[in-house]
Amino acid sequence: MISNDDNDTIKGFAAAVNSRLAAEIRVTRAKSFGWLCAGAAIGFCLAGLGCAIAFLGYSHVASVRPAAELIGKALVSALQQTKMKATVSGRMSLSPDSELKLAAGQSVLVSEGAIVKLDPSSSVRIIGNLRVDMPQPSKEQLQLEATSKSDELVFTNYTMFRNVSYEKGHVVTGWHYDLSDTSRPKSQTCYYAESIESGLSRG
């Protein structure tokens, strides 16, 4: 037989066990809820971070300015490092009545062998000395040290002769140069010469 006291003790013990179990259950539920919340938070954070990265990447793709800047920089860099060599060939023709003017300080170089024609009605004004392409005696041909047999004082000069056929003879023009100034003749002569018989001539 169980006495009333014993019965009360058992009931008390059962109540304590129930209470303890209920407390354990609440603790376990609380922990599981905490873990659930933490997992959700981590999940949300990761999802947010992924979305942020995705949006950033998309913004770089979708935005016009960064792409244009990149392309522009790439082009500038490529052009700076590129050496361009171009050859232009062809022929430029001007209409016969066209006129060309040179800007101040510019010059035109005519290639060797090229022929430049002047308008027959044009006039050319030359400032400075004009040297006609004529043969000039060389130092060896002048022989300034040459003397006569009698060792007299020798004076040297030279004359350019131009012979032009005229009638039965020639018109001869002589440009007489002194060695002191060979840029222009000191005097000039012109005469007509015709051979009238062997060994004689008249001028």
Partner 1 sequence: MITNFTVFKRVPFENGHVMTGWVFLTSAQKAPTSQYCYYTENAEASGLDVVLDIAQDQKIEKPKTMPKGFDMLAAFNRCVWFRSERS
Which residue, 148 or 180, has its beta carbon nearer to partner 1? 148
User: Beta-carbon neighbour count of residue 102 at 10 Å?
Assistant: 8
Distance separating alpha carbons of residues 172 and 163, to the nearest angstrom: 5
Which residue, 5 or 140, has its beta carbon nearer to partner 1? 140
User: Beta-carbon neighbour count of residue 178 at 10 Å?
Assistant: 14
Which residue, 13 or 191, has its beta carbon nearer to partner 1? 191
Contact 171/190 with Cβ under 8 angstroms? yes
52 binds partner 1 (CB under 8 A): no
156 binds partner 1 (CB under 8 A): yes
Among 33, 58, 161, 191, binds partner 1 (CB under 8 A): 161
Which residue, 63 or 157, has its beta carbon nearer to partner 1? 157
Number of residues binding to partner 1, judged by CB under 8 A: 27
Residue closest to 178 by CA, chosen among 170, 169, 187: 187
157 binds partner 1 (CB under 8 A): yes
Distance separating alpha carbons of residues 30 and 161, to the nearest angstrom: 132
189 binds partner 1 (CB under 8 A): no
187 binds partner 1 (CB under 8 A): no
Which residue, 113 or 135, has its beta carbon nearer to partner 1? 135
Distance separating alpha carbons of residues 35 and 31, to the nearest angstrom: 6
149 binds partner 1 (CB under 8 A): yes
According to CB under 8 A, which residues from 86 to 145 bind partner 1? 134-138, 140-143
Distance separating alpha carbons of residues 170 and 195, to the nearest angstrom: 9
Which residue, 32 or 163, has its beta carbon nearer to partner 1? 163
20 binds partner 1 (CB under 8 A): no
Q: What one-character DSSP code corresponds to residue 172? A: E
Among 154, 190, 193, 196, binds partner 1 (CB under 8 A): 154
In the numeric block, the tokens 């015709």 are attached to 194
186 binds partner 1 (CB under 8 A): no
Euclidean distance between the first and the last CA atom of the chain, given in angstroms as a whole number: 188
In the numeric block, the tokens 């490529």 are attached to 78
158 binds partner 1 (CB under 8 A): yes
Distance separating alpha carbons of residues 74 and 176, to the nearest angstrom: 74
Query: Residues in the site for partner 1, rule: CB under 8 A?
Result: 134-138, 140-143, 146-150, 152-164
